[in-house]
Amino acid sequence: MILADKVALVTGGASGMGRAGAHRFAREGAKVVVADLNEAGAKEVAEQIVDQGGSAVAVSCDVGTEQDNIAVVRTATETYGGLDIFWANAGIPQAFRRIAEIDPSEFDKLVAINARAPWLGARAALPALQARGGGSFILTASLSGLKGRPDASAYQASKGAATMLVRSLAKEFGPYGIRVNSVCPIASETPMWAQFMNGYMEPDNAANTFAQGIPLGRLAEPEDVANAALFFAGPDSAYISGVNLPVDGGSSA
């Protein structure tokens, strides 16, 4: 088990990619803090991990606030004695719309959750990761942070900021032995999928349409993203930092 004796914190851990990641990390031996605004969902995931023989606790967390980022790190250190991995996975979508149809307040919220919140998470996690002599900070960005497309300007701006945050923090955190990387998934059939498609295209039809443009012929599964995050969390990526990794079935090739 490649994460034995490690402590991992996953935000947005109640569903989708975060849920898959919490389970994946636990199967590899990590003690997991499942953090989510949906406290009931986080508790469900933590209970499933415990029932399967792992170790996990759930915590309610609004990643958009400094105090909650500090609190979840404190939960990890007080419960398990430290923190080795912080996966800033929580994020919000934008339904596809032209720029004139997007209210500036929505832009502000997207940047707050998709870019500012991981920055807050990194700021809160730094002392705990330093205390362990290093670790891994992982961010869920998006292919939208690497590749332009129409009708998603606010979302893409927020994820573009996230990918640059990865590069900046990799330079800043490297001297402390902390690696910083992101997973950049293409569309995935998580609970957010319908929100992206709201008013744009019927979700099931959209999945088939989008899949036709992906060389591997399907959307990403949450487990695909969890496996990529596991790579960044584990020892096989010990000399990799500052990477925004497309998890896109070859779409960006």
Annotated active-site positions, please?
155
Cβ neighbors of 111 (< 8 A, separation 6 or more) are 154, 157, 158, 161
Kindly state the DSSP code that residue 147 receives in the 8-state scheme: S
What are the two backbone dihedrals, phi and then psi, of residue 21, each rounded to the nearest 5 degrees?
-70, -40
Token pair recorded at residue 157: 């701006």
Using DSSP's 3-state secondary structure scheme, residue 57 falls into strand
Give backbone dihedrals phi and psi of 182, rounded to 5 degrees, phi first: -130, 155
Render the burial of 157-173: b for 16+ CB within 10 Å, e for the rest: bbbbbbbebbbebbeeb
CB-based burial of residue 118 (10 Å sphere; 0-12 exposed, 13-18 middle, 19+ buried)?
buried
Task: Calculate the alpha carbon distances from 93 to 106, 164, 166 in Å.
Answer: 10, 19, 20
**Quick check: 80 and 87 in contact, CB under 8 A?**
no
